[in-house]
Structure 1
């Protein structure tokens, strides 16, 4: 750790201004990872599933809308975590969410809510562009 007996005013230069701290997430603790959807629809990343403490055979309910799939652990769920601990997205839900085979996706695990959200790259880019208009690509 760096310490000094000098007073800050002796350093000269421009004082650093830090941005205000980000507010605490409104959804509680979150864990994010990125992965690829393989040619069988399987997510190639298990860390988000491990954060949620979901084991192989865990019953799940999956729902889709354009840009995302939401996965919730429910005892009456129709789908499950596979024997090797991976989650596969059914073809119908991939179509509804516009998530294709070999696409990169963002996984967002919310352990406090026992929910996993799978976001398409286009969905994430659109959300960021809404918050940061300077990120939008110029129109030709």
Structure 2
């Protein structure tokens, strides 16, 4: 008999969210532009950036204080980088949701906590 295989929750619409992991540079730019392409966010688009539930939420907003760079990058504001203690080379999990037109960036410390909480049941049952 092999190891137990966990049942994973099936998302309501498979493929409705696009995920990638990317590094941040010294200016706060996220290296991977593919989530912005999936969202059809073009250079100059005004964005609102906020912190919610341990993640960075980015949405298009007419009066947004931030924007997609001329080169098509998302730049996280210094205040956001300070809150999460993000430094050049740190990686983030990005989740782009084209159906709802938003992007969420999760620092790896948050991803670690989510995965550990999700898999805590395995640890308890394996004893």
Q: TM-score, normalised by structure 2?
A: 0.82
Counterpart in the other structure of 1:118: 105
How do 1:1-140 and structure 2 match up within 5 A?
Answer: 22-25=9-12, 29-65=16-52, 67-133=54-120, 134=122
Q: Secondary structure at the match of 1:43?
A: coil
Deviation at 1:98, TM superposition (A): 3.4
The answer to whether the 8 Å contact 1:41/1:90 transfers is yes
Runs of 4+ off more than 6 Å = none
Output one character per residue of 1:41-95: Cα deviation in whole Å (capped at 9) or x when no partner. Answer: 1100000010000000011000025742110011111110000000111111111
User: Which runs of no fewer than 5 residues in structure 2 stay unpaired?
Assistant: none
1:24, 1:80 → 2: CA distance?
Answer: 30
User: Which runs of no fewer than 5 residues in structure 1 stay unpaired?
Assistant: 1-13, 136-140
Count of equivalent residues: 119
The answer to whether the 8 Å contact 2:46/2:66 transfers is yes
The alignment's C-alpha RMSD in Å is: 2.5
1:86, 1:104 → 2: CA distance?
Answer: 15
Please identify the structure whose Cα radius of gyration is greater. Answer: 1
Q: Secondary structure at the match of 1:61?
A: strand
Q: Secondary structure at the match of 2:56?
A: strand
The answer to whether the 8 Å contact 2:25/2:87 transfers is no
2:54, 2:7 → 1: CA distance?
Answer: 31
